[in-house]
Amino acid sequence: MPRTPMRFALQIALLTVLLVGREFVRADAPAATAPASDEAVKVEKAEVVVEYKRFDPYHMPTPPPPIEKGEAAVTVYRFGVEVDSKYSYTQSAKAPPGPAKLDVTVEEISVRLTLSVTVWLPDNASKELAAHEEGHRWIAEKFYADAEQVVRPMAQRWVGKKLKGEGRDAKAAARFVTDNDSQKTGEVYGAYGYTPDKDVVRAPMKMTTLPFSVDQLTWDFTDMSDTAGSMTIMWDKTAASVPFRVGGS
């Protein structure tokens, strides 16, 4: 059967967008007791959107399906994460106007999860090829079914965190924590504070240079067989891959 790799693009937004607040609550007196972390995190999981597209391999549509040389069909997955946050900060009513430095507390986090699947099949696709691509769709939906169990603990870890902000006034100082402060620190939220004790598993990856550029961070399962394959991550002109086996040592 022609090679039909499982391909999905992950919109890696969670680690950085968790800090993109949309609402601030000012308290001139100490804030009320924050809700428990499980109550302060709301997760909405949208219904899966599946689209089937047909194409003539000899007269490709515009734009064409994202099929590479040697592929007969392809299934593209897009896992989306949208995060909104609510913060509070305390400032004395007698504080003078002007530049301010504040401790900002993350109070609530709302997460919206989405999954869209596009199955591209040639007009003359065999039943076996169609079933193969349906398997990729099923795998994507299987992962998505447990997405809330993965996202909720990640969001809960941010509830109650205190972040330092500064700006021309209290509101600007509060919003400082949501901005990319790379001009001052050289770092972006999510790129520091790493603690290896929270790693679930670690594996060395082989780095290679791609002959083309990939605009969106993309995860591929490549070189697949019945018992093994490789997980490949691509971004820009860099690829990193690690082999794995299924059901054996």
Task: Report how far apart, in Å, the C-alpha atoms of 98 and of each of 41, 95, 220 are.
Answer: 34, 9, 51
Residues 93 and 187 in one domain: yes
Task: Report how far apart, in Å, the C-alpha atoms of 114 and of each of 14, 133, 181 are.
Answer: 13, 20, 28
Name the phi and psi angles at 147, rounded to 5.
-60, -40
Name the phi and psi angles at 126, rounded to 5.
-75, 165
193 has pLDDT over 70: no
Which residue in 211, 204, 246, 203 sits closest to 225, CA to CA?
246
Residues 129 and 53 in one domain: yes
Residues 167 and 233 in one domain: no
Residues 135 and 17 in one domain: yes
In sequence order, what are the residues at sequence separation of 6 or more whose Cβ sits closer than 8 angstroms to the Cβ of residue 97? 169
- pLDDT, residue 199, reads 76
Residues 228 and 171 in one domain: no
Which residue has 């093994």 as its token pair?
Answer: 228
Residues 105 and 208 in one domain: no
Rounded mean pLDDT, 169-186:
58
Determine the straight-line distance between the first and last CA of the chain, rounded to whole angstroms.
27
19 has pLDDT over 60: no
Please give the tally of structural domains in the chain. Answer: 2
Lowest mean pLDDT among 30-34, 43-47, 199-203, 219-223: 30-34
SS3 191: coil
SS3 113: strand
Structural domain that includes position 160: 6-194
Residues 81 and 102 in one domain: yes
- pLDDT, residue 207, reads 94
Residues 13 and 129 in one domain: yes
pLDDT digits (tens, 9 = 90+) for 32-71: 444 555 688 999 999 999 999 999 999 999 888 888 878 8
Residues 22 and 102 in one domain: yes
Q: pLDDT tier at 179 (50, 70, 90 boundaries)?
A: low
